[in-house]
Structure 1
Amino acid sequence: MQVSDLMATDVVTVDRDASLRAAVRELLENEVGSVIIVDDKGNPIGIVTESDALRAGYVTEKPFDEIAVIDLTHRPVITTKPSSTIRWVAKQMADNDVKKAPVMDDLELVGIITLTDIVWHLSDIQAEAGELAGSEEDWNLD
């Protein structure tokens, strides 16, 4: 199974110069759990989650419009391609302790895949792995 099979294509982004208030507005209006922070060329440079917003408000005690979203971004940003396997991206996410990965088609941001996407489709992934293992006897490796 490939990333393109599970990724969401409705990616929510905010500019690197945005305030946390702008990011939270996008979270709420789009009913998502994270926004991707992009540079002036549209490249992902960070991710901010709902939890980040709550933590920043609590810790800093500042209004959200006084908090720069770039200061909260999760790094490194682990990206993937639509053609990458779910197994590969899941390992990259686990190795880097991230739950979300922007999907890039060359230099274009085309989607996002989350750990939740993978978990929701775990039975499909396991079924596909079983089918591949079962077809091993059909392979002529000589």
Structure 2
Amino acid sequence: MLVKGIAQSDVVTVGIEATLEDVARTMRDERVGSVVVVDGKGVVSGLLTDRDLVVYGIAGDRAVSDLVANDIFSTNVFCVDPEDEVADVVDRMHDEGVRRVPVVSDGSLVGIVTLDDLLCHLSAQIESLADVVRGEFPE
């Protein structure tokens, strides 16, 4: 299966100069635990999670009011193409220790793949296999 088959297209983004208060409000309003941080041209710069807000923002050494997304976002991010194989993305996510991956096509952000997306995909595959097994033993 290809990434485009499971990627979410409704990606929440913030600019690199967004205040942490604005980032937190965006996460709250959009009901997400992470945002993709983009530069002024819309190019993916990194990811910022609710955990980043707490650990590096609130519990950091500087006043939260002085911080912007650029100060704390995670840069250990890689992007994938919609045509990449899901299995390859899973392997890379494991190797890199990340739970979210932006999906970029021709330089533009078009989606995101999360651990949740992968688990839902996998559970559907397991359910299909279970149906085969159940079919072998009719009630």
Q: Distance in 2 between matches of 1:94 and 1:47?
A: 17
Q: Distance in 1 between matches of 2:67 and 2:116?
A: 28
| Aligned-partner SS, 2:14 | strand
Q: Distance in 1 between matches of 2:37 and 2:29?
A: 16
Q: How does 1:45-64 map to 2 (within 5 A)?
A: 45-55=45-55, 56-60=57-61, 62-63=63-64
TM-score, structure 1 normalization: 0.82
1:112 alignment partner in structure 2: 112
- Percent identical among aligned pairs is 32
Q: Distance in 2 between matches of 1:12 and 1:128?
A: 32
| Aligned-partner SS, 2:46 | strand
Q: Give 4+ residue runs of structure 1 displaced > 2 Å after superposition.
A: 58-63, 123-129
Q: Which amino acid aligns with 1:54?
A: V
Q: How does 1:73-112 map to 2 (within 5 A)?
A: 73-112=73-112
Unmatched runs of 5 consecutive residues or more in structure 2 = 130-139
Q: Which amino acid aligns with 1:57?
A: I
Q: How does 1:2-81 map to 2 (within 5 A)?
A: 2-55=2-55, 56-60=57-61, 62-63=63-64, 65-81=65-81
Unmatched runs of 5 consecutive residues or more in structure 1 = 130-142
Measure how far apart 1:24 and its partner are: 0.8
Q: Distance in 2 between matches of 1:126 and 1:39?
A: 39
Measure how far apart 1:116 and its partner are: 1.3
Distance 1:59 1:49, change over 3 A: same
**Greater mean alpha carbon deviation, residues 114-123 or residues 30-39:** 114-123
Q: Determine if contact 1:44/1:77 at 8 Å carries over to the other structure.
A: no
Q: Distance in 2 between matches of 1:111 and 1:100?
A: 11
RMSD: 1.8
> How many matched pairs?
128
Measure how far apart 1:5 and its partner are: 1.1
Q: Distance in 2 between matches of 1:17 and 1:67?
A: 9
| Aligned-partner SS, 1:18 | coil
| Aligned-partner SS, 1:121 | helix
